[in-house]
């Protein structure tokens, strides 16, 4: 049956912009690619182009998709690589160990194999320690770090009782749900609008074999070798800390302690939790631009 558009005048307000200007610009597609290491594949997505290279590293248990909104903004400034950590997201689970140094070694291999220059690393939580280690080994290539909710040093050893509780909580069929509930608690004031969708996708991913083992390994992994490199990376850095971050007894003190050692700028988000790049993405992007946009 042939249809004539003049029979449907109510469609014109919808169709006119498309007819006049063509199809609207689609959202960028984040196609997963893989980088082969000696032990397995690391998943990442790539967006944009240019001489600046941005490497985005999520925290424990998180996925590269958490950085999607920030990646779209950064695309204007250079080429953006968003990573899944080994054992998580779409990366392989057959690695012999997991932790901040292991993540650092994966990314160092990537930077060197791709021969990347003008690199800026944006890291969250545990991978802030990874970023420190990476820059200490490639100071000519890595020009600056953005550390959010950063864990960069060893804390007091966990008691046997607490270790046992964590092992039980994040093991077994209830492990993914327990982790997702913990993840939700890290947004005490400003949860993202799509938090429920994020939680569901995260839970589905963590139900895959080997994912929760990777998380447990990262929780107990040492940061000592990364912490030892802190004095070797003084310079061009930004530290962003949510003052409501429940992972720190005093978020402000931790941020200032890091700044004292490595230098750079500190931004404190009054209502921010552990994921400021998700809670206030526009502000986050505005705050970090000064790292590469010199006046």
DSSP assignment of 88-115 equals STTS-S--S--SHHHHHHHHHHHHHHHT
The distance of Cα 87 from the centroid of its chain, to the nearest Å, equals 15
- In the predicted structure, residue 17 carries a pLDDT above the cut 90: no
In the predicted model, is pLDDT for residue 246 greater than 90? yes
- Torsion sign (Cα): 268, 254, 149, 250: negative
Please give the pLDDT value at position 155: 80
Other Cβ atoms less than 10 A from the Cβ of 234: the count is 11
> Does pLDDT of 228 surpass 60?
yes
What average pLDDT does the structure give for the chain? 89
Instruction: Read off the DSSP letter of residue 26.
Output: P
Q: What is the CATH number of domain 28-291?
A: 3.40.50.1820
Q: Are 48 and 79 in contact (CB under 8 A)?
A: yes
Q: Which whole-number Å values give the CA distances from 72 to 29, 76, 122, in the listed order?
A: 10, 8, 14
Q: Of 64 and 30, which is predicted with more confidence?
A: 64
**In whole angstroms, what is the distance from residue 133 CA to residue 221 CA?**
15
Task: Give φ, ψ of 62 to 5 degrees.
Answer: -90, 175
Structure confidence at residue 135 (pLDDT): 98
Predicted TM-score (pTM) of this structure? 0.88
Structure tokens at 219: 């929780």
Select from 113, 97, 98, 104 the least CA-distant residue to 83: 104
Interatomic CA distance for residues 258 and 265, integer angstroms? 10
Q: Identify the band that residue 21 occupies on the pLDDT scale cut at 50, 70 and 90.
A: very low
Q: How far apart are CA 62 and CA 173, in angstroms?
A: 19
Average pLDDT rounded to a whole number, residues 42-65 = 96
171 Cβ partners below 8 Å, 6+ apart? 212, 216
| Percent of the chain residues past pLDDT 90, beyond the cut | 80
Q: Which residues pair with 46 in a beta bridge?
A: 81
- Burial pattern 200-209, b for ≥16 Cβ within 10 A else e, equals eebbebbeee
CA distance 228 to 193: 38
């Amino acid at each position: 049956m042939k249809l004539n558009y003049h029979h449907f005048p109510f469609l014109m307000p919808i169709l006119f912009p498309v007819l006049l200007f063509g199809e609207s610009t689609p959202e960028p597609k984040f196609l997963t690619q893989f980088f082969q290491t000696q032990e397995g594949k690391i998943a990442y997505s790539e967006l944009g182009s240019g001489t600046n290279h941005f490497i985005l590293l999520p925290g424990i248990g998180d996925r590269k998709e958490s950085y999607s909104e920030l990646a779209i903004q950064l695309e204007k400034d250079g080429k953006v690589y968003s990573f899944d950590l080994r054992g998580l997201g779409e990366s392989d689970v057959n690695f012999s160990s997991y932790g901040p140094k292991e993540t650092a070694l994966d990314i160092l291999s990537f930077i060197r194999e791709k021969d990347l220059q003008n690199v800026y690393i944006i890291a969250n939580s545990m991978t802030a320690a990874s970023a420190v280690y990476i820059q200490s080994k490639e100071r000519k290539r890595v020009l600056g770090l953005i550390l959010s909710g950063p864990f960069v040093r060893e804390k007091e050893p966990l008691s046997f009782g607490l270790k046992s509780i964590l092992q039980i909580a994040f093991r077994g069929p209830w492990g993914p749900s327990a982790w997702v509930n913990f993840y939700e608690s890290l947004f005490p004031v400003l949860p993202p609008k799509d938090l429920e969708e994020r939680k569901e996708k995260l839970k589905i991913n963590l139900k895959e074999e080997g994912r929760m083992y990777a998380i447990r390994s990262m929780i107990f992994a040492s940061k000592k070798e990364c912490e030892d490199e802190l004095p070797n990376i003084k310079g061009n850095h930004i530290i962003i800390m949510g003052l409501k971050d429940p992972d720190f007894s005093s978020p402000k003190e931790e941020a200032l302690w890091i700044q004292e050692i490595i230098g750079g700028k500190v931004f404190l988000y009054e209502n921010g939790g552990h994921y400021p790049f998700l809670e206030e993405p526009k502000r986050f992007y505005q705050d970090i631009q000064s790292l590469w946009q010199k006046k």
